Amino acid sequence: MSQPLFVIEDLHVSVEGNEILKGVNLTVERGEVHALMGPNGSGKSTLAHTLMGHPRFQVTQGRVLLKGKDILSLPTDERARRGMFLAFQYPVEIPGVKVRHFLRMAVKAIKGEEPSVTEFRKQLFEKMALLEMDRSFSERYVNEGFSGGEKKRNEILQLAMLEPEMAVLDETDSGLDIDALRSVANGMNKLAGPHMGMLLITHYQRILNYVDPHFVHVLFGGRIVRSGGIELAQELEAKGYDWIAGEAVT
């Protein structure tokens, strides 16, 4: 029996002495899309940043296994080289750096060798065509003057170019109008496939109208308190999060 792609085991995380995650367990196989939902303050973004090694978040207990290897002791860049990817909730601007230059440097850093100009341009334009993005987008400075939707589409373009094995998308739907949401969700659907696991972290059910997850989990009080299918997300949309508070173990 093959080992799972990605496993979180009894993960406890503190920030400045305050415990935020209190024993998170989750397994993601290749080809699976998991949605992680929860109210503000439940620990969703703490989990995302911990998985990529942000120094502010202190792991006090547990393991995170990628292809059977614990990655918690690794720096962020090494986690990325081993196949991890994080799409940010609030992507930062990088003035003066064109999207295509940024992506070429990122591909070199992750894959260990610099692609030829011809090879890189071919791949970039193929991915942009797949995501229905105009080529002129690659000539703009990273996130400078971008709308909320453009910033999130740029994150999805990075996902397409880096081809990770495990992608974590931290509230990629936040701040998007309905057209931008559809566009970003369409990109996710096109990139999801049998070789990649995806963890979609979201506060609202609305993106799940366009992205069909295999599993939905509810993070509440620092733990995953319920898991199910898309019907769980629909129940949360109808009832809110208060009804599930009693299931959080304190």
**Domains of the chain in sequence order:** 6-92+165-247 (3.40.50.300)
If one counts every other C-beta atom within 10 angstroms of the C-beta of residue 69, the result is: 11
For the whole model, what pTM was predicted? 0.92
Give which of 106, 28, 32 is closest to 67, Cα–Cα: 28
Q: Among 19-33, 92-106, 164-178, where is mean pLDDT lowest?
A: 164-178
Query: What does the pLDDT read at residue 248?
Result: 52
Query: What does the pLDDT read at residue 250?
Result: 42
Percent of the chain with pLDDT over 70: 97
Give which of 155, 181, 179 is closest to 48, Cα–Cα: 155
Q: Is 241 a residue whose pLDDT tops 60? A: yes
pLDDT band at 165 (very low <50, low <70, confident <90, very high): very high
Contacts of 45 (CB under 8 A, 6+ apart): 89, 170, 171, 201
Distance CA 66, CA 165 (A): 9
Percent of the chain with pLDDT over 90: 77
Q: Among 39-43, 56-60, 121-125, 132-136, where is mean pLDDT lowest?
A: 39-43
Q: Is 59 a residue whose pLDDT tops 50? A: yes
